[in-house]
Chains A and B, each alone.
Chain A
Amino acid sequence: MGAQTNSQAGSRASLQTSNKALGRDDLARLVARDIKPGSFVNLGIGQPTLVSNYLTADQDITLHTENGMLGMGPEAQGDEIDGDLINAGKIPVTELPGASYFHHADSFAIMRGGHLDICVLGAFQVSATGDLANWHTGAPGAIPAVGGAMDLATGAKDVFVMMTLLTREGASKIVETCTYPLTGVGCVTRVYTDKAVFLTGPDGVQVRETFGCTLEELQELVPVPLTAAPAVAP
């Protein structure tokens, strides 16, 4: 009993890897670092796009854009801008050596067929069991638009979410059950937030690391039971 308590205390102490909450770029750097070399990755529109700034050549990551390309390069600048070469956010981009183009059904087969290793998405809410809500607030009169979110959420081998832990009003976006309309059921595997990295799955919500707070302080903010993730061997 005493040994277990000590071990828990030890793992909790080691959970905190930063003495302050992470900014958007720090979070993007962290996600980039966690992507395994050689992966095929789709970065969602918005905050996830920042991750591409921190991928290194050594990682040899191939980026997919759902409008029909593998091997997408950085945003186009100046003379590089070409209206026929855009990403899913309709921003002009560049092609890298080894890039390929394909039509929309093939592009979505890449997602839906389980060929993408990781997609990184934003979210309104993630449930304790990994349900994702990120496409629609459900507000009356809101015009719904879904794009490729449901295909990415159900198709990629790993679905990482990047978001702030709290809404502007201070409510946790990690929830027992999503109140916004769902994008996918049980699909999220990791949630990167400014205050902690969470692992979601059948074992409930585990905390891998915290930023500027302890596990106990984090638990005060999040309405689902949190446990420390088992330490990963270095």
Chain B
Amino acid sequence: MLNFVDTVADAVAGIRDGSTVMIGGFGNAGQPFELIDALMDCGATDLTVVNNNAGQGDQGLALLIKEGRVKKMICSFPRQSDSWHFDAKYKAGEIELELVPQGNLAERIRAAGAGIGGFFTPTGYGTMLAEGKETRIIDGRGQVFETPIHADVALIKALKADGKGNLVYRKTARNFGPIMAAAAKHTIVQVSEVVPTGGLDPETVVTPGIYVNKIVKVA
């Protein structure tokens, strides 16, 4: 069921405490700042957040972490020069971290969207990030079993949507958007422009509207 809503507050209404929330973006590119701000305002807490990073500077995901709304981060690269809010929470033992190699993060999200129960990959074999995981030798290489990452909600940013919820993105801001849209039960998208149905060339659609539940235009 696809809904176009007028405000980011309407878009995030219904996100419950304890939800697993995927947030698109790599660094600031593709990060849906307005939706994250709305998530902050709506008060949902005790969240598990899936993102490549763990917030930068004093905006977006970093503020959500600062305010103690995130109980667990699933990410590949939390430590950055400006990740001070995550750093403080982590050092205080107030946030849990599941550190995942970036390719495993992407593929585990993709697997969830594709109905795959898990996969073996050489990435991480023989390292501390594979400790406690099932391994096999496949085609002569050590491989590690990785499971899908599902989410209740995905918050992503795209460039344009049409009336059917089909999405196109812009340059490297695409990053996690398409796979998170497929992996979450409920996908909320902020776009810069909504065009009429038929206004996107079907050959160029990146995320088909079947994966999208709510769209809000953000100026």
A31 to B52, CA, bound (A): 30
A184 to chain B minimum Cβ distance, whole angstroms, is 7
**Contacts of B147-197 to chain A: CB distance below 8 A:** 169-179
A224 to chain B minimum Cβ distance, whole angstroms, is 19
Interface bits A136-153 vs B (CB < 8 Å: 1, else 0) = 100001011111111100
| Overall SS of chain A's interface | loop
A69 to B175, CA, bound (A): 9
Interface bits B65-95 vs A (CB < 8 Å: 1, else 0) = 0000000000011111000001100110000
Stretch from B2-10, B40-48, B124-132, B210-218 contacting the other chain: B124-132
A-B contact pairs, 17 of them (CB 8 A): A86-B26, A90-B28, A101-B174, A103-B175, A103-B179, A104-B105, A105-B106, A105-B107, A108-B107, A143-B91, A145-B77, A146-B76, A147-B102, A148-B102, A151-B103, A154-B125, A184-B127
Given contacts A146-B99, A148-B103, contact A101 B172 (CB under 8 A): yes
Establish whether residues B91 and A150, one from each chain, have CB atoms under 8 Å apart when the complex forms: no
Given contacts A148-B103, A151-B101, A181-B128, contact A85 B171 (CB under 8 A): yes
Establish whether residues A108 and B171, one from each chain, have CB atoms under 8 Å apart when the complex forms: no
Residue A183 lies at the interface, judged by CB distance under 8 Å to chain B: yes
Q: Which residues of A contact B126 (CB under 8 A)?
A: 131, 182, 184-185
Establish whether residues A108 and B172, one from each chain, have CB atoms under 8 Å apart when the complex forms: no
Q: Which residues of B contact A183 (CB under 8 A)?
A: 127
Establish whether residues A150 and B127, one from each chain, have CB atoms under 8 Å apart when the complex forms: yes
Establish whether residues A103 and B103, one from each chain, have CB atoms under 8 Å apart when the complex forms: no
Q: Which residues of B contact A209 (CB under 8 A)?
A: none
Establish whether residues A67 and B172, one from each chain, have CB atoms under 8 Å apart when the complex forms: yes
Interface bits B115-156 vs A (CB < 8 Å: 1, else 0) = 000000111111111000000000000100000000000000
Residue A102 lies at the interface, judged by CB distance under 8 Å to chain B: yes
A154 to B125, CA, bound (A): 9
Establish whether residues A154 and B123, one from each chain, have CB atoms under 8 Å apart when the complex forms: yes
A118 to chain B minimum Cβ distance, whole angstroms, is 17
Q: Which residues of B contact A95 (CB under 8 A)?
A: 171
A83 to B176, CA, bound (A): 16
B26 to chain A minimum Cβ distance, whole angstroms, is 5
Closest residue of chain B to A66 (Cβ to Cβ) is B102
A185 to B142, CA, bound (A): 9
Residue B60 lies at the interface, judged by CB distance under 8 Å to chain A: no
Establish whether residues B90 and A108, one from each chain, have CB atoms under 8 Å apart when the complex forms: no
A108 to chain B minimum Cβ distance, whole angstroms, is 3
Interface bits A78-105 vs B (CB < 8 Å: 1, else 0) = 0000111110001000010000011111
B110 to chain A minimum Cβ distance, whole angstroms, is 4
A212 to B110, CA, bound (A): 50
| Chain A interface (Cβ < 8 Å from any Cβ of B) | 65-69, 82-86, 90, 95, 101-105, 107-109, 111-112, 131, 136, 141, 143-151, 154-155, 181-185
Choose among A65, A82, A101, A141 the residue with the greatest number of B CB atoms under 10 Å from its CB: A101
Establish whether residues B76 and A147, one from each chain, have CB atoms under 8 Å apart when the complex forms: yes
Closest residue of chain B to A131 (Cβ to Cβ) is B126
A147 to B79, CA, bound (A): 10
Q: Which residues of A contact B172 (CB under 8 A)?
A: 65, 67-69, 84-86, 101
Residue B27 lies at the interface, judged by CB distance under 8 Å to chain A: yes
A119 to B42, CA, bound (A): 44
Establish whether residues B179 and A105, one from each chain, have CB atoms under 8 Å apart when the complex forms: yes
Pairs of residues from A and B, 8 with the lowest C-beta to C-beta distance, nearest first? A151-B103, A108-B103, A185-B126, A90-B27, A105-B110, A145-B79, A104-B106, A84-B173
Closest residue of chain A to B142 (Cβ to Cβ) is A185
A103 to B125, CA, bound (A): 24
Closest residue of chain B to A95 (Cβ to Cβ) is B171
Interface bits B40-63 vs A (CB < 8 Å: 1, else 0) = 000000000000100000000000
Establish whether residues B29 and A151, one from each chain, have CB atoms under 8 Å apart when the complex forms: no
Given contacts A146-B129, A151-B103, contact A104 B26 (CB under 8 A): yes
Establish whether residues B129 and A67, one from each chain, have CB atoms under 8 Å apart when the complex forms: no
